[in-house]
Chains A and B, each alone.
Chain A
Amino acid sequence: MSPPTSTGPAATPTGSKLTRVLGSLSLAFLAIFLLFGLMLSPPEVSQREAVRLFYIHVPSAVIALYLAFGLTAVGSVVYLRKRSTFWDLLAWSAAEIGVLFCAFTLVTGMLWGRPTWGVFWKWDPRLTSTAISFVLFIGYLAVRQLDLTPEARSSRAAVLGIIGFLNTIVVRFSVSWWQSLHQGTTLNPVDTQMDGLHLLSFFLGFATLALVFSWLLVHRFRVAWLAHQAGEAGLDRALAERRAEATGRTV
C-alpha cells in the first residue's frame, strides 16, 4: 500500500510501527482465544458455560486495578520527581484505559454473577472493590480536567494517582476481610478447579487483554502527546498575537 498523500499536520496518524504490531498481535490472540475460550474448552463443573466470561473478567480486573492504576502511580511518582511530560501523560493515559477496563470488569462480573450466583450483584470483594476504585479513578480523570493551570492539574493529579493506587489496595484488602468475616464463602472464581483447556483459555484471555490494553495505551498516549504538542504550538501563536497587539498600539 502506498502511503496516503497527506497535506497538513491534521493528517498526523496516531498509529506507529509499535501499535501496528500490537494491533495485529491482539487480533491474532483474540482469534485463538475465541477458538479456545468459546469452542474448544468444555463447560466447567461448577460454573458451567459461565466459565467463559471468567476468562476475560478476572484478567480485566487485574489489568485495570494493578497494571493500569499501578502504572498511573509509577508515572505520577516519576512525574513529581522529574517533572517529565512523558510520565505525566503516561499516568493519565493508563488511568483512562484503566477506568475503561474497570467498567468492563464490572459488566462481565455482573453477567457472570447472574448464572453463577443467581443475581447480578453479590457483595463479592473483587466486584465491590473494583466498583469503588472505578469511582475513585473517575475522580482522577475529573482532576485532569480542573480549571487550573496545566502544572497545577498535573501535580495534583499525580498526588491523587499515587494515593488513589494505595487506597485501591486498602479498599481491596478491607472489603475482602469484611467478606471473609460476614458472608462465609461464596463461589469464588479463583477457588474453582480448573485444568487443561480451562487454564489454557484463561491464560489466552489474559494475554489477549494485556495486548489490547497495551495497544489502547500506546494510542491514547500518542493522542495525549499530540494534544500537548498542539497546545505548545498554540502558545507560540498566542504569544505572537499578544506581541503584535503591543506594536499595533505603540507604532
Chain B
Amino acid sequence: MRVRSELLADAWLVASKDLRIERSSRVVASQVLPFGLIVLILFGFGISPDRRVVEADRTVLEQVAPGLFWLTVFLASLLALGRSFAIESADGSLEALRLTGLDPGGVFLGKSLAVAAELLVLEALLGAGALLLYGAPLGHPFLLMVVVVAATASIAAAGTLYSALASGSRVRDTLVPVLVLPALAPALLGATLATEAALFGPPSDGWPWAGLLGAFAVLYFGAGMLSFGLMLEET
C-alpha cells in the first residue's frame, strides 16, 4: 500500500535524522549512559551489597537486580526523551515539521524508534553493568531479549507521546516525568517480573508479563500515531 510505505519512509527520515544528530553530538552516549551507571552504583549503596536473602540463597542486591535495572533504564529514558524533544525545540523545528508534508504518525514513529534504538544500546551496556555489579545469573536469554524489546518499545512510545503532549511549553522538562512515570508503572512491573523469571526461572512465569508489555507497547504506538498530528496542530 502506498500510504503505508510513505508512513514508514517518513518515520525512517525522522529516525535517521535523530540518530545522525546523536552520532555527532553523543549526548546520550556521554551524558545519559554515565547517569545510568552512577544510578546503578548508588542503588548498591542504598541496599548494601552484602546482605543476603536466606531462603533464596542470594544477595538482596541479586534478588532485586531486575527491578533496579529497569528503574535505572526508566530514569535514564527520561533524559533521552528530554534530549529527543530538546533538539526539536531549540530552533523552532517542531513548527517547521508542521509545515512539511510529513505524515504526523510517521514523525511519531520516527522519533520513538530513534529513542528506542538509543535505549537498546543503553540497556545492553547498563545490563552488562548490572550483571557485573549485582551478580545475577543469565538464565533464559531468549525470554530476556523479548522482554527487553517489548519494554523498550513501551518506554519509547509512551515517552514520546507524553513528551509531545508537553512540547512547546516552558514547563516540559518538569511535566514529562509526572506524566510518563505513572503511565509506565504497568510496564515497569511487567519488565521487572518477566526479567526476574528470565534470570531465576521458571520462564513460564515471565511470558504472560512479556505479553502484557507487548500489548502496552501496541496501545501506545497506536495512540501516539493517531494523536501526534492533533497534538502538534496548535501550540
Complex: A in contact with B (CB within 8 Å): yes
Residues of chain A at the chain B interface (Cβ within 8 Å): 80, 132-133, 135-136, 138-139, 142-143, 146-149, 151-152, 155-156, 159-160, 162-164, 166-167, 170-171, 173-175, 177-178, 181
How far, in angstroms, from A167 to B165 measured CA to CA in the complex?
16
Interface size on B, residues (CB 8 A): 30
Do the beta carbons of B189 and A160 come within 8 Å of each other?
Answer: no
B50 within 8 A of A: no
How far, in angstroms, from A164 to B180 measured CA to CA in the complex?
11
Known: A80-B230, A139-B178, A143-B175. A152 touches B168 (CB 8 A): yes
Do the beta carbons of A148 and B235 come within 8 Å of each other?
Answer: yes
B163 shortest CB reach to chain A, Å: 12
B169 within 8 A of A: yes
B110 within 8 A of A: no
How far, in angstroms, from A181 to B193 measured CA to CA in the complex?
10
Task: Given contacts A148-B169, A174-B186, list 13 more A-B pairs with CB under 8 A.
Answer: A133-B182, A135-B178, A135-B182, A142-B171, A148-B168, A149-B234, A152-B231, A152-B233, A152-B235, A155-B233, A163-B161, A177-B212, A178-B189
B170 within 8 A of A: yes
In the bound complex, residues from chain B placing their C-beta under 8 Å from that of A132 are 182, 185
Total number of residue pairs linking A and B with CB closer than 8 Å:
86
How far, in angstroms, from A166 to B219 measured CA to CA in the complex?
9
Do the beta carbons of A160 and B190 come within 8 Å of each other?
Answer: no
The secondary structure that dominates the B interface is helix
- Cβ 8 A contact of B193, one of A133, A155, A178: A178
In the bound complex, residues from chain B placing their C-beta under 8 Å from that of A177 are 212
In the bound complex, residues from chain A placing their C-beta under 8 Å from that of B168 are 148, 152
Do the beta carbons of B171 and A164 come within 8 Å of each other?
Answer: no
Most chain B CB inside 10 Å of its own CB: which residue of A132, A138, A162, A173 = A132
B13 shortest CB reach to chain A, Å: 24
The 4 closest A-B pairs by CB, nearest first: A174-B186, A152-B234, A136-B182, A135-B182
A–B pairs, 24, beta carbons within 8 Å: A133-B182, A135-B182, A136-B182, A143-B166, A146-B166, A147-B170, A147-B171, A149-B234, A152-B168, A152-B233, A155-B233, A155-B234, A156-B231, A159-B223, A159-B230, A160-B165, A163-B183, A164-B183, A166-B223, A167-B182, A167-B183, A167-B186, A170-B216, A173-B186
